[in-house]
Amino acid sequence: MKKLNSIDEYKQIIQKENVILMFSADWCPDCRVIEPVLPEIEKENSMYTFFYVDRDEFIDLCGELNVFGIPSFVAFNKGEETGRFVSKDRKTQEEIQDFIDSLKS
């Protein structure tokens, strides 16, 4: 998964097609639980480009996007938000996949 490096990069990547931002942090135990399945999720959903967004590095962006719990996912397509799976709850691989599948409809 690519790592978001700057707000300028964020502004550029959300203009592309089918981007999913995963908001996380190194200290987040629920984020660590899903980490092993992320490569498989990326592989199964190759039509999307995934970016890891460190919540602590981009706290202002989290506020702007109303991401107050992690892990959370926000999807964009050509500058428009197309979906979000945002909560403070632990997420399963199946729940993440269901979210991604919902973007396709």
Which residues are marked as active site?
Answer: 28, 31
**Phi, psi (degrees; rounded to nearest 5) at 79:** 85, -10
Q: Is 10 exposed, middle or buried (0-12, 13-18, 19+ CB in 10 A)?
A: buried
Is 85 buried (19+), middle (13-18) or exposed (0-12) by CB count in 10 A?
A: buried
Distance, in Å, from the CA atom of 52 to the CA atom of 25, rounded to the nearest integer, reads: 9
For CA atoms 98, 54, 38, 33, the dihedral sign is: negative
